[in-house]
């Protein structure tokens, strides 16, 4: 077929159609003027016959003339390839608007770098190619929607908007394509930045479908520009439904792939403190996880780690004056990571002062840089407070205090009280302790039970050691309460353990759990030498967890499930542990065993875990902080960014639903440390830090298989093309349905024209 040889200019089309109509008329008139007048004797007879048949002759001549005009117009339309774009006929007949909707994937996976640059840069360059379809044509509109524009504005966008007094997200809505559009588009392209979100196409497609449905007087073309990673298209039903919803409005959908190849990428997927004794001048163990998203093995990975210790905030302190002290820690080396695998490594950090400090881990740059760094905020206190409860004389507590902090090296501070303390203490008094250990307590008052349960539900940790003074009925009826209480198991009797014979299993049979890590990590454990003489036992019908999923048996007595030795229960946000024997030497010799000290320290660390909520979140997760209304002013300041580029802006705290709290509710859009500077009514500054990291689910750059993807979208009419094969001026297909129809009409008109010409005696 011929290419489209005409411009879409309506003026030129008008001239061509006028010529197609005028030319046959002119030829017809010229032919009539060529007749010679000849006088003839029988003329009178012929004139009478002519007058009689004149109307019929004129009708045949008119039909012949119209058929020849139709032949020229049909040939003109076929040569012009009418129908190669939906909007041409509409413009020819009435000037209907064509709207180009561009959905730009700006999720951080588009930052993947290859030999030809970033995928995001290619996507931005495609805007000009799409705009080329609208140039030099009438009634063209252009709308650009980055994926991230469908999300609420993040804190850094608010800062940028405050600094520039203009929106920070580059979005065009129904922009008229005119002579100034190129300048507008180039300016916009300079403002487009890659986001750090995991936004996908679903929200943008839903938004476009809504816009198209609200503007039914337009022809719409939707362009989806993305890297088409496999993770986004594993369950394409929602996306397919959105595309079908758009196509039902008569719009066309084109998918433009800007990826180059499967990228190689390492990511720091996790960085967290593994110890729950977070005290100043005490080493804290951190654990980082590196995942290999590459199709090949990564070797000799170096991870740079550093700690950032912030100075103490005083009254009148300013954010710009509080730069943290950065300490470079020894590099963490990883020999190799297989494709798709993760490797964990631990390293210690040390902080000298109390406060919220940060730890940063970073791998060397690869094809995707944004996920190479991860930050963790760690709250450091003066010491980890442990409460020991024992009736006088506090013999076990005295020894246990030494176990908790041998040589003053663990950062744990203990305080010993008697049973009466729990009767009168408030939840505020109890909440200052990370963990509570109770040694052979007979019973607790009803008020003490409620306070203890609220303490555990709020994240505190409690460890119960049994003994000869233990009131079995009280623990079962008041603390266990058929599984609803804070105590993990019912108990009804004291069990005398038979003397162990040679060759029998050790008294303590522990599962693989962090509390018993020192014993499980060696082949011949010293824990096997521990001898248990007595335990408190549950009813005979009790077995294992007793059907309670919150209860786990960590150790049993010689493998007998009906004789649990260490049982843990999740209660609210905290943990409570029941040890069915004594902490002292009354019922066992464990305190004299070398495993006692490390296991008790690990038990304290485990039950204290609920006290340390995560100060690390993912991009797009809002930061929500609450403040007592009567203690804080409503004015606050938000500080965002790395130490050398921190930005700040004032904002107001919102009043909570009940009016008793002030809330800071901030959307996040960037991976960095966010600080909220609140001010107390007495002028003191309260600084709360949160580390925001990228969601490494976006780090998998594996591309969707083209054939599989096309098959998944088979129910739609969407066309998938590569970015370098996108044609801003598409040619008509040879098998165009409109051209076939025009050709059929042309053949019919040609046949009709010949018959009319024969009927009017043009052919002898």
Q: How confident is the model at residue 274 (pLDDT cuts 50, 70, 90)?
A: confident
Backbone angles phi, psi at 214, to 5 degrees: -80, -10
pLDDT score of 22 more than 70? yes
Concatenated DSSP letters of 190-208: HH----SS---HHHHHHHH
pLDDT recorded at residue 249: 82
What is the token pair recorded at 510?
A: 């522990």
- Describe the chain by its helix, strand, coil percentages, rounded to 5: 35, 30, 40
Of residues 85, 227, 208, the one with CA closest to residue 144 = 208
Pairwise pLDDT comparison (702 vs 8), residue with the higher score? 702
Average pLDDT over residues 280-297: 92
Residue appearing with tokens 């929200």: 203
pLDDT at res. 46: 63
CA–CA gap between residue 445 and residue 17 (Å, rounded): 101
CB 441 within 8 A of CB 469: yes
Cα(741)–Cα(77) distance, rounded to whole angstroms? 11
pLDDT at 731: 47
Q: Which among 583, 623, 528, 170 has a CA at the least distance from the CA of 396?
A: 583
Q: How many other CB atoms are found less than 10 A from the CB of residue 548? A: 13
pLDDT > 70? residue 41: no
Residue 94 confidence class, pLDDT cut points 50, 70, 90: very low
Q: Which residue has the higher pLDDT, 2 or 716?
A: 716
Quick one: DSSP state of residue 436?
E
d(CA 10, CA 211): 28
Sign of CA dihedral 504, 508, 510, 516: negative
Which of 584, 571, 608, 551 lies closest to 440, judged by CA?
584
- Tens of pLDDT, residue by residue over 152-201, are 666 555 555 554 444 434 578 888 888 888 888 988 888 888 999 888 88
User: What tokens appear for 497 in the block?
Assistant: 């353990």
Average pLDDT over residues 256-260: 86
**More confident: 484 or 239:** 484
Domains of the chain, each with CATH number or no CATH: 10-84+738-759 (no CATH), 96-261+705-730 (3.40.50.410), 266-381+615-698 (2.60.40.10), 384-611 (3.40.50.880)
Split at pLDDT 50, 70, 90, the class of 339 is very high
SS3 303: strand
End-to-end CA distance of the chain: 36
Lowest model confidence (mean pLDDT) among 359-363, 420-424, 642-646: 642-646
- Looking at residues 88-98, what average pLDDT do you find? 52
Question: What pLDDT score was predicted for residue 33?
Answer: 63
Model pLDDT, residue 64? 74
Predicted confidence (pLDDT) at residue 39 exceeds the cutoff of 80: no
Whether the pTM exceeds 0.85: the reply is no
Q: Which of 377, 383, 327 is nearest to 357 (CA)?
A: 377
- Over residues 456-485, the pLDDT tens digits come to 999 999 999 999 999 999 999 999 998 899
Is the Cβ–Cβ distance between 595 and 518 less than 8 Å? Answer: yes
Structure-model confidence comparison of residues 308 and 738, the more confident one: 308
Alpha carbon distance 227, 703 (integer Å) = 8
* Residue 243 scores a pLDDT above 90: no
**Spatial separation of the C-alpha atoms in residues 392 and 386, rounded to whole Å:** 18
- Residues of the chain with pLDDT > 70: what percent? 85
- Helices 596-607 & 395-404 angle (0-180, nearest 10): 80
The whole-number average pLDDT for the span 288-309 is 93
Residues 580/467, Cβ–Cβ less than 8 Å: no
Coil/strand/helix, residue 420: helix
Quick one: how far is CA 634 from the chain centroid?
31
Q: Which of 383, 389, 443 is nearest to 413 (CA)?
A: 383
- Distance, CA of 575 to CA of 566 (rounded, Å): 13
Q: Is the pLDDT of residue 107 over 60?
A: yes
Q: Is the per-residue pLDDT at 506 higher than 90? A: no
**Lowest-pLDDT range, 15-19, 208-212, 542-546, 708-712?**
542-546
The two structure tokens encoding residue 198: 């995991």
Write out 467-533 in H/E/C secondary structure: CCCCCHHHHHHHHHHHHCCCCCCCCCEEEECCCCCCCCCCCEEECCCHHHHHHHCCCCCHHHHCCEC
In three-state secondary structure terms, 381 is strand
| 452 pLDDT higher than 80 | yes
- Is residue 290 pLDDT above 90, yes or no? yes
How far, in Å, CA of 107 to CA of 66, rounded? Answer: 60
**How far apart are the C-alpha atoms of 224 and 242, rounded to whole Å?**
12
Partners of 608 in beta bridges: none
pLDDT at 596: 93
Q: Tell whether the model's pLDDT for residue 370 goes beyond 60.
A: yes
Q: What integer pLDDT is reported at residue 735 of this predicted model?
A: 35
| Average pLDDT of every residue of the chain | 83
Specify the 3-state DSSP secondary structure of 267: strand
Q: Kindly list the distances between the CA atom of residue 443 and the CA atoms of 389, 422, 531, 570, in Å, as whole numbers in the listed order.
A: 12, 10, 27, 22
pLDDT given at position 669: 87
Q: Note the pLDDT of residue 90.
A: 41
pLDDT-derived band at 696 (thresholds 50, 70, 90) equals very high
328: β partners: 306
CA geometry: angle at 360 spanning 359 and 362, to 5°? Answer: 155
Rg (CA), the chain: 40
DSSP at 354:
S
Residue 697: both structure tokens together = 């689910």
Length of the chain: 764
Rounded average pLDDT over 391-415? 88
Long-range contacts of 159-165 (CB under 8 A, 24+ apart): 159/638, 159/640, 159/647, 159/648, 159/649, 162/649, 163/647
Backbone angles phi, psi at 498, to 5 degrees: -60, 150
Q: Is the pLDDT of residue 736 over 60?
A: no
For residue 733, is pLDDT > 50? no
Separation between Cα atoms, residue 745 and residue 761, nearest integer Å: 24
């Amino acid at each position: 077929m011929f290419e489209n040889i005409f411009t879409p200019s309506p003026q030129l089309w008008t001239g061509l159609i006028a010529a197609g109509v005028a030319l046959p008329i002119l030829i017809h008139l010229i032919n009539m003027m060529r007749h010679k007048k000849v006088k003839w004797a029988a003329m009178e007879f012929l004139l009478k016959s002519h007058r009689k048949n004149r109307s019929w002759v004129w009708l045949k001549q008119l039909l012949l003339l119209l058929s020849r005009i139709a032949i020229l117009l049909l040939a003109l339309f076929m040569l012009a390839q009418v129908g190669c774009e939906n909007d041409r006929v509409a413009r020819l007949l009435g000037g209907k608007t064509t709207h180009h909707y561009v959905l730009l994937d700006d999720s951080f996976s588009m930052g993947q770098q290859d030999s030809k640059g970033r995928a995001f840069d290619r996507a931005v360059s495609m805007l000009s190619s799409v705009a080329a379809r609208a140039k030099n044509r009438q009634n063209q509109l252009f709308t650009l929607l980055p994926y991230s524009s469908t999300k609420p504005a993040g804190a850094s966008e608010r800062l940028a908007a405050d600094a520039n007094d203009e929106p920070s997200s580059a979005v065009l809505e129904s922009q008229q394509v005119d002579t100034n559009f190129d300048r507008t588009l180039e300016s916009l392209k300079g403002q487009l930045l890659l986001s750090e979100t995991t936004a996908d196409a679903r929200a943008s497609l839903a938004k476009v479908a809504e816009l198209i449905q609200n503007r039914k007087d337009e022809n719409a073309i939707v362009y989806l520009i993305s890297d088409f990673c496999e993770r986004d298209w594993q369950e394409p039903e929602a996306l397919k439904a959105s595309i079908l919803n758009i196509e039902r409005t008569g719009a066309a959908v084109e998918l433009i792939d800007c990826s180059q190849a499967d990228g190689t990428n390492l990511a720091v997927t996790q960085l967290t403190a593994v110890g729950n004794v977070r005290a100043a001048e005490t080493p804290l163990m951190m654990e980082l996880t590196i995942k290999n998203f590459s199709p090949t093995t990564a070797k000799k990975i170096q991870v740079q780690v550093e700690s950032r210790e912030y100075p103490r905030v005083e009254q009148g302190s300013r954010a710009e004056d509080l730069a943290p002290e950065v300490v470079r820690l020894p590099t963490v080396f990883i020999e190799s990571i297989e494709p798709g695998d993760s490797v964990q490594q631990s390293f210690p950090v040390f902080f000298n002062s109390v406060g919220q400090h940060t730890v940063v881990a970073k791998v060397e740059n690869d094809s995707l840089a944004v996920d190479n760094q991860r930050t963790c905020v760690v709250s450091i206190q003066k010491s980890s407070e442990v409460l020991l409860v024992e009736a006088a004389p506090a013999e076990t507590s005295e020894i246990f205090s030494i176990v908790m902090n041998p040589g003053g090296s663990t950062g744990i501070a203990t305080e010993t009280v008697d049973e009466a303390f729990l009767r009168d203490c408030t939840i505020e008094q109890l909440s200052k302790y990370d963990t509570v250990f109770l040694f052979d307590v007979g019973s607790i008052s009803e008020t003490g039970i409620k306070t203890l349960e609220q303490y555990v539900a709020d994240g505190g940790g409690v460890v119960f050691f049994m003994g000869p003074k233990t009131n079995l009925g009280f623990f079962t009826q008041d603390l266990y309460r058929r599984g609803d209480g804070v105590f993990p198991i019912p108990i009804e009797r004291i069990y005398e353990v038979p003397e162990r014979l040679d060759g029998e299993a050790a008294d303590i049979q522990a599962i693989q759990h962090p509390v018993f890590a020192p014993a499980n990590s060696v082949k011949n454990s010293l824990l096997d030498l521990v001898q248990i003489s007595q335990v408190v036992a549950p009813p005979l019908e009790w077995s294992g967890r007793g059907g309670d999923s919150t209860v786990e048996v960590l150790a049993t007595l010689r493998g007998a499930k009906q004789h649990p030795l260490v049982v843990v229960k999740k209660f609210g946000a905290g943990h409570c542990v029941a040890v069915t024997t004594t902490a002292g030497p009354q019922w066992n010799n464990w305190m004299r065993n070398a495993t006692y000290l490390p296991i008790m320290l690990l038990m304290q660390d485990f039950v204290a875990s609920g006290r340390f909520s995560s100060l690390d979140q993912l991009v797009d997760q809002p930061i929500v902080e609450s403040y007592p209304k009567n203690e804080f002013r409503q004015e606050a300041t938000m500080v965002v960014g790395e130490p050398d580029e921190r930005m700040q802006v004032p904002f107001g705290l919102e009043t909570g639903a009940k009016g008793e709290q002030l809330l800071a509710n901030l959307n996040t859009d960037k991976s960095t440390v966010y600080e909220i500077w609140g001010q107390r009514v007495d002028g003191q500054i309260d600084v709360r830090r949160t580390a925001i990291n990228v969601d490494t689910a976006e780090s998998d750059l594996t591309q969707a298989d083209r054939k599989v993807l096309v098959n998944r979208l088979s129910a739609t009419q969407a066309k998938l093309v590569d970015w370098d094969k996108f044609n801003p001026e598409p040619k008509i297909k040879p098998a165009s349905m409109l051209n076939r129809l025009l050709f059929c009409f042309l053949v019919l008109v040609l046949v009709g024209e010949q018959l009319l010409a024969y009927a009017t005696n043009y052919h002898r």
